[in-house]
């Protein structure tokens, strides 16, 4: 075997290592846990394949409640478009808590990831999942849980990091196309947006050199850091955002913090007339709420989500 085939030609720390012979190794976010009954919260979950062609699936969560017609959350996981899945223990644990504490049905989307499926595959898969969910709005969809429990007048999107980017674009698509559901609001948790020009303290952050590199790896055909998929200020469709309420959560130590603040200005100056609330959590870093779900600051973030869903 040619020893050069084991040469590393690309590495994104904590995410992926690519070898000269085409092999790759995902460095984190590969562990999975099965769906089922969560004894701590009483939440029930199951996986449903929504496309036999792509094998894209969603993980459904039903809270322990006798209530019918509760809010519906469609969630998009993070991971730089490269790692993590809807079956990741990080997301499974987090969404069990969100479902229980907020009394919401959750559809967690397992979109296909890079490098086997470069951007824009994740956006196509996510929109297909939304359309699949919408089939249940009249009570005649393929899944009995989604026929019985959600209130389709109270549908929310949320996502963290790359998933926040996806949630943003799905909301724009709802605004420009008929989805069959009422999008009541969107929660963006530390959303992954970027651009050529530096914002706030980005230039001094230790992660700064790798940010554009990550996007280029995930989207080889990109036009660059000002790609409209990455920089909402360059997107002519941003004013189509299809709901009237947005909650953006940022973290003080996160390189993406200033992009979260800028996002509110971008929506406003482009003619969107809804309400944007931005809340910053102090002393914490990117997606902290996934790693220590019992910490007071993580509990406070989930309470914030609950208020948003049920206000």
Catalytic residue among 38, 233, 254, 281: 254
Gap between the Cα atoms of 67 and 90, Å rounded: 27
Catalytic residue among 99, 108, 161, 179: 161
For 290-294, which contacts have Cβ atoms below 8 Å and span 24 or more sequence positions? 290/90, 290/91, 290/94, 290/160, 291/90, 293/93, 293/94, 293/97
Asked about 254 being catalytic, the answer comes back as: yes
User: CB of 290 within 8 A of CB of 160?
Assistant: yes
Asked about 286 being catalytic, the answer comes back as: yes
Asked about 37 being catalytic, the answer comes back as: no
Q: Which residues are known catalytic residues? A: 161, 254, 286
């Amino acid at each position: 075997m040619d020893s050069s085939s084991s040469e590393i030609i690309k590495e994104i720390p904590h995410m992926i290592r690519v070898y000269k012979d085409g092999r790759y190794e995902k460095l984190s976010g590969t562990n999975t846990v099965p769906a089922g009954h969560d004894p701590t919260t009483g939440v029930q979950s199951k996986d449903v394949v929504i496309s036999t062609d792509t094998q894209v699936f969603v993980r459904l969560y039903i809270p322990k409640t006798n209530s019918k017609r509760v809010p519906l959350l469609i969630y998009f996981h993070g991971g730089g478009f490269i790692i993590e899945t809807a079956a990741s223990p990080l997301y499974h644990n987090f969404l069990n808590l969100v479902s229980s504490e907020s009394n919401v049905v959750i559809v967690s989307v397992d979109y296909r990831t890079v490098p086997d499926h470069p951007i824009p595959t994740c956006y196509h898969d996510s929109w297909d999942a939304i359309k699949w969910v919408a089939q249940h709005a009249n009570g005649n969809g393929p899944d009995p849980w989604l026929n019985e429990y959600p209130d389709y007048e109270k549908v929310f999107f949320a996502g963290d990091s790359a998933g926040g980017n996806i949630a943003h674009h799905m909301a724009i698509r709802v605004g420009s196309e008929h989805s069959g559901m009422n999008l009541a609001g969107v929660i963006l948790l530390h959303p992954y947006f970027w651009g050529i020009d530096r914002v706030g303290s980005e230039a001094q952050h230790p992660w700064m050199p790798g940010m554009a590199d990550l996007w280029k790896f995930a989207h080889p055909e990109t036009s660059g850091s000002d790609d409209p998929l990455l920089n909402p200020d360059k997107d002519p469709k941003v004013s189509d955002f299809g709901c009237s309420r947005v909650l953006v959560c940022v973290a003080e130590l996160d390189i993406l913090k200033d992009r979260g603040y800028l996002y509110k200005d971008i929506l406003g100056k482009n003619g969107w007339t809804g309400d944007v609330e931005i809340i910053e959590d102090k002393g914490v870093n990117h997606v902290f709420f996934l790693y220590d779900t019992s910490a007071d600051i993580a509990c406070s973030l989930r309470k914030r989500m609950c208020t948003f869903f049920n206000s």
